[in-house]
Amino acid sequence: MSDLAKAKCKPCEGGTPAYTAQQAKDMLRRLKGWSIEDGKLAKLYPFANYYQTMAFVNALAWISHREDHHPDLTVGYNKCRVEYSTHAVGGLSENDFICAAKCDALFEL
């Protein structure tokens, strides 16, 4: 499990700036298989079947609730696309990268 996956999300306070393009690119290097698309951090997770997909989605919902940082999900029979951005800052923040690392750790279980 990466250091990012062990971190906790922090509330974005008023005036907290979004990451610059370079900061986001630097953080992206710490993740495997993620990309930045349309200002969002995104990854597609493949599964063998619907049951595995839904188990992942439900576990991710629990993690998201605990972190109070919620992704946009697109769910199919054997795949789930996860997208993170921080609406409060209008872009990407450390919280997005923390939660992306938690997704990866969950997927590896």
Q: Is residue 84 part of a domain?
A: yes
Q: Is residue 74 part of a domain?
A: yes
Q: Residue 91 is part of which domain span?
A: 41-109
pTM equals 0.92
Q: Is residue 58 part of a domain?
A: yes
Q: Which residues partner with 108 through β-bridges?
A: none
* Under 8 Å between Cβ of 94 and 5: no
- Reported as a single tens digit per residue, the pLDDT across 32-53 is 999 999 999 999 999 999 999 9
Q: Is residue 64 part of a domain?
A: yes
CATH code (residue 90):
3.30.1360.20
Domains identified in the chain, total number: 1
The torsion angles phi and psi of 25, rounded to 5 degrees, stand at -60, -40
Kindly indicate the confidence band of residue 12, based on its pLDDT and cuts at 50, 70 and 90.
confident
